[in-house]
Amino acid sequence: MNANAPLPLEVSVDDVSYLLGRPGESPRMIDCREQDEWQVCRIEGAELVPLSQFGELAPQRFFDLNQHIVIYCHHGMRSQRAANWLRQNGFGKVQSMRGGIDAWSEMVDQNVPRY
């Protein structure tokens, strides 16, 4: 795989699990759900940047244009919007986790509650 090739917009929960478990630098995990959803469940180590405040908070929270960032939401729709927003603002290594935390709960970590 070419290290300089652009990353696909979407990444599977299995691939994210692999990236988080392998040695070396892990992607930065961003949860773009709202605070009340965050209180129900989250992926360990993720940071909350709600989509409803993304345009306001992103300039304060994202600096490294080359950092690998994986964004997730409940099912993967909001995270695609957030990932596209970052890509349009120069962040080339941003991906949306396909299926969101619901798919993560079902396929990777059944201890994460589903709602």
CA-CA distance, 46 to 9, in Å (whole number)? Answer: 19
The pTM assigned to this predicted structure is: 0.94
Sequence spans of domains, the chain: 10-107
CA 102 to chain centre: 13
Phi, psi angles (nearest 5°) of residue 65: -65, -20
The average pLDDT across 97-104 equals: 98
Q: Which residues are catalytic?
A: 73
In the predicted structure, residue 30 carries a pLDDT above the cut 60:
yes
Q: What single-letter amino acid sits at 3? A: A
Dihedral of the alpha carbons of 77, 16, 88, 42, in degrees to the nearest 10: 60
In the predicted structure, residue 103 carries a pLDDT above the cut 80:
yes
User: Which CATH number is 10-107 given?
Assistant: 3.40.250.10
Proportion of the chain above pLDDT 70, given as a percent: 96
DSSP string, the chain: --TTSPPPSEE-HHHHHHHHHSSSPPPEEEE-S-HHHHHH---TT-EE--GGGHHHHHHHH---TTS-EEEE-SSSHHHHHHHHHHHHTT--SEEEETTHHHHHHHHT-TTSPP-
pLDDT at 4: 63
